Amino acid sequence: MARAAIQRRLTWRVARVAEVVDETPRVRSLALSVPDWPGHRAGQHVDVRLTAEDGYVAERSYSIASAPDDGERLMLTVERIDDGEVSPYLTEELQPGDPVELRGPIGGYFAWTVDDGGPLLLVAGGSGVCPLMAMIRHRAARASMVPARLLYSSRTLDDVIYRDELDRDGGDGSGLEVVHTLTRGHPPGWTGRSRRIDAEMLAELAWPPERRPLAYVCGPTPLVESVASALVALGHDPDRVRTERFGPTGN
């Protein structure tokens, strides 16, 4: 039975684009209708396959941004990489009704359910917020009061993905706190943080190690390695610091 379930997850299936949402000038979310979707855990990803008319095939992995509670509606959020093979098509050409080949869900280490508890420390850089957003949405769908804090590093305020939703959820009284830090400029009157995430910021915002928070860190490799190392140096249990990273190209 376990082998059949794995084979089912790794079978290519055809989804249909139900809606496209422009999150930022470079980032688009694709809401996909996926018949017979086997379900997923917040933090997992899927493989997407594009096949050109000449038969050339390109595959890329994208984190699932929707909550497991959304049934057969799956959301992928894609950042356009100008010289990429896949992301320009997904962010500029794909339209509602178009087919998309995907397989998954994939991954189990970087995943969270409300039953895992907390406190929950989420640290993101850029589009690394996508799998963490699935966790935030899952928490909201279950009306969970698990203490959760998102520390989100973006270049500018205009580069913040899911900005309106995060502003709303961070102030809804559910125990979710959203903290932004901007690294390449900020608007007039900005009172938030304006530097890269560092050990001092983590010492201020992370729960004390004795509370044994669960930490999920996702973003570019240098950020992820720096944050994970800093959390361990601050006394956090390495087994409770989970990481997922991506490189600067390949999308």
pLDDT tens sequence across 93-141:
999 999 999 999 999 999 999 999 999 999 999 999 999 999 999 999 9
**Phi, psi torsion values for 2, nearest 5 degrees:** -65, -40
Is residue 249 scored above 90 in pLDDT? no
- pLDDT category of residue 8 using cuts at 50, 70 and 90: low
Residues 197-206: pLDDT tens digits?
999 999 999 9
Which range (51-55, 59-63, 160-164, 195-199) has the least confidence?
Answer: 51-55
Pairing of strands 13-24, 99-106: antiparallel
The DSSP code sequence of 47-111 is: EEEEE-TTS-EEEEEEEB-S-GGGTTEEEEEEE--TT-SSHHHHHHT--TT-EEEEEEEE-SSS-
> Mean pLDDT for the chain?
92
- What percentage of the chain has pLDDT greater than the value 70? 94
Sheet holding 148-154, edge to edge: 176-182, 148-154, 120-125, 214-220, 241-246
Q: Buried (b) or exposed (e) across 43-69, using 16+ Cβ within 10 A?
A: bbbbbbebeeeeeeeeebebbbbbbbe
Residue 21's pLDDT is: 96
CA 160 to each of CA 50, 113, 127, 183: distance values in angstroms, whole numbers, following the listed order: 28, 25, 9, 12
Measured distance CA(237)–CA(230) in Å, rounded: 11
Indicate the SS3 state at residue 134. Answer: helix
Residue 83's pLDDT is: 87
pTM across the whole model: 0.92
- pLDDT category of residue 9 using cuts at 50, 70 and 90: low
Is residue 1 scored above 60 in pLDDT? no
Residues 16-42: pLDDT tens digits?
999 999 999 999 999 999 998 999 999
Residue 193 is given by DSSP the state: B
Q: Which CATH number fits domain 2-106: 2.40.30.10, 2.60.40.420, 3.40.190.80, 3.40.605.10?
A: 2.40.30.10
Kind and range of the H or E run holding 141: helix 129-141
Which range (51-55, 101-105, 116-120, 158-162) has the least confidence?
Answer: 51-55
Measured distance CA(250)–CA(82) in Å, rounded: 10
Residues 176-189: pLDDT tens digits?
999 999 999 889 98
Kind and range of the H or E run holding 228: helix 221-233
Residues 111-123: pLDDT tens digits?
999 999 999 999 9
Q: What is the residue extent of each domain of the chain?
A: 2-106, 114-246
For domain 114-246, give the CATH number: 3.40.50.80
Per residue, what are the HEC states of 160-176? Answer: CCCHHHHHHHCCCCCCE
Is residue 143 scored above 90 in pLDDT? yes
36: left (phi over 0), alpha (psi -120 to 50) or beta: left
- 95 token code pair: 């339209």
Q: Buried (b) or exposed (e) across 190-212, using 16+ Cβ within 10 A?
A: eeebeeebeeebbeebbbeeeee
